[in-house]
Amino acid sequence: MKVKAKVKAFSKGKLGDKKRSAHIIVRKKFCRLCVDKVKSLDYKDGKRLEAFITERGKIVSRRYSGNCAKHQRLIAEAISKSRFVSLLPYTR
Ligand SMILES: [Zn+2]
């Protein structure tokens, strides 16, 4: 089985822990906001939002951050508002 296929199979839960090869370290992604039980995001909370933007000021995708869809929407909205009032940059 190729490495890519293995990673895919693992993320879908098809492979057990024992079958995981030693050189692939797959860490389970989780939504940080779900862990904190965040229900709403404040656009004025720049520090928190800064964790979800890249060095260049782009919003980090769910694929990388591991956020759930619900929180990703909240983040995107908060960042947009925050950019509008110049708390976060559009670009760096
Ligand atoms: Zn979440």
The rounded Å distance from CA 1 to ligand 1 centre is: 33
Q: How far is the CA of 62 from the centre of ligand 1 (A)?
A: 10
The structural domains of the chain, ordered by start, are: 1-28 (no CATH), 31-92 (4.10.640.10)
Report pLDDT digits (tens) over 54-73. Answer: 999 999 999 999 999 999 99
The CA 60 to ligand 1 mean position distance, Å, reads 14
Q: Which whole number is the average pLDDT over 28-48? A: 89
- To the question of pTM greater than 0.85 for the whole model, the response is no
Q: What is the mean pLDDT of the chain?
A: 83
**What's the 73 CA to ligand 1 centre distance in angstroms?**
10
In angstroms, rounded to a whole number, what is the distance separating the alpha carbons of residues 20 and 8? 12
Distance (Å) from CA 18 to ligand 1 centroid: 29
H runs (alpha helix) in the chain: 3-11, 32-35, 46-50, 62-65, 69-84
The CA distance from 27 to 45, in Å, is 28
The more confidently predicted of residues 34 and 27 is: 34
